[in-house]
C-alpha cells in the first residue's frame, strides 16, 4: 500500500499594516442585560450591536471577547458568526466563567455577521458589560481542502524576522505576526489527494 499523495504550495500574503489588537472595534461595550433573551438557556436571536468594522475586518483575525463583571455575573455564553478564511460560514462559541474575563478565540474571521449571548446567570447590574475586538492571530488564506503546514518567513519593514513556532496554529490556519508594521508572510499549505 502506497503513501497518500500530498501537494504542497508555498504561498505569500502581504497584510500592509495590520492594526493592533483592539478590545472593542467589533462590538463596543454593551450592557449584557440590555440584550433580549440574554438569560435564556438556549441560543436564540439575541444579538449584540456590531460596529461597522465587523462587516469588513481589515484582515482575517481572531476575536477576543472581554467581559467586565461589575455585579454578580457568574456565567455567560457567546457565539460569533461570520465568514472564515476558506470562504465558508464559521461559528465560534465562547464560555465566560468568573475566573476568566477576557476570552481569546482561535477562528480567523473575514467578517463578523452576528454575535449572540445567552445562558447568563447571576445578578446583573449596569456594570456588567461585554466588548468584542480583534486579536493578534492573522488568518492565512488557503483552499477549503488545504491545511497549514508551516510559516517559513515573516518580513516586516525590510527586516526578516525569526519565526516563532509557538505563534503558529495549524488547526485554525493562523499566525500571530508582529503587528503595527507592514507584514509579509510566506507559508506552506498542503493538500492530501483523495483519489
Digit-by-digit pLDDT tens for the chain (195 residues) are 567 899 999 999 998 877 778 888 899 999 998 888 898 989 987 899 998 888 888 889 999 999 988 778 889 999 999 999 988 999 999 999 876 678 999 999 999 999 999 999 988 887 889 999 999 999 999 988 899 999 999 998 888 999 999 999 999 999 998 776 788 999 999 998 877
* N-term to C-term CA, the chain: 14
Is residue 23 within 8 A of residue 104, CB to CB? The reply is: no
Residue 8: C-alpha distances to residues 1, 13, 20, 117 (Å) = 22, 16, 31, 40
Residue of 59, 87, 98 lying closest to 146 (CA atoms): 87
pLDDT at residue number 34 = 87
pLDDT at residue number 69 = 80
pLDDT at residue number 92 = 98
pLDDT at residue number 102 = 87
pLDDT at residue number 100 = 66
Residue of 128, 138, 109 lying closest to 26 (CA atoms): 109
pLDDT at residue number 123 = 86
Residue 116's Cα: distance from chain center in Å?
A: 15
User: DSSP string covering 35-91, please?
Assistant: STTTT-SS--S-BPPPPGGGGG-SS-EEEEEEEE--SEEEEEEEEEEEEETTSSEEE
pLDDT at residue number 20 = 75
Amino acid at each position: 500500500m502506497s503513501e497518500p499523495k500530498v501537494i504542497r504550495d508555498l504561498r505569500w500574503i502581504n497584510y500592509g499594516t495590520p492594526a493592533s489588537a483592539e478590545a472593542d472595534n467589533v462590538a463596543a461595550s454593551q450592557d449584557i442585560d440590555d440584550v433580549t433573551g440574554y438569560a435564556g438557556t438556549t441560543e436564540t436571536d439575541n444579538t449584540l450591536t456590531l460596529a461597522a468594522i465587523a462587516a469588513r475586518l481589515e484582515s482575517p483575525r481572531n476575536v477576543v471577547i472581554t467581559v467586565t463583571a461589575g455585579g454578580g455575573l457568574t456565567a455567560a455564553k457567546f457565539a460569533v458568526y461570520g465568514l472564515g478564511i476558506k470562504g465558508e460560514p464559521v461559528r465560534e462559541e465562547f464560555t465566560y466563567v468568573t475566573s476568566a474575563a477576557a476570552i481569546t478565540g482561535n477562528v480567523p474571521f473575514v467578517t463578523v455577521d452576528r454575535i449572540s449571548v445567552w445562558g447568563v446567570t447571576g445578578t446583573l447590574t449596569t456594570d456588567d458589560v461585554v466588548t468584542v475586538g480583534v486579536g493578534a492571530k492573522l488568518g492565512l488564506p488557503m483552499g477549503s481542502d488545504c491545511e497549514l503546514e508551516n510559516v517559513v518567513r515573516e518580513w516586516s519593514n525590510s527586516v526578516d524576522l525569526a519565526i516563532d513556532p509557538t505563534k503558529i496554529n495549524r488547526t485554525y490556519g493562523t499566525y500571530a505576526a508582529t503587528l503595527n508594521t507592514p507584514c509579509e508572510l510566506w507559508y506552506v499549505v498542503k493538500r492530501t489527494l483523495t483519489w
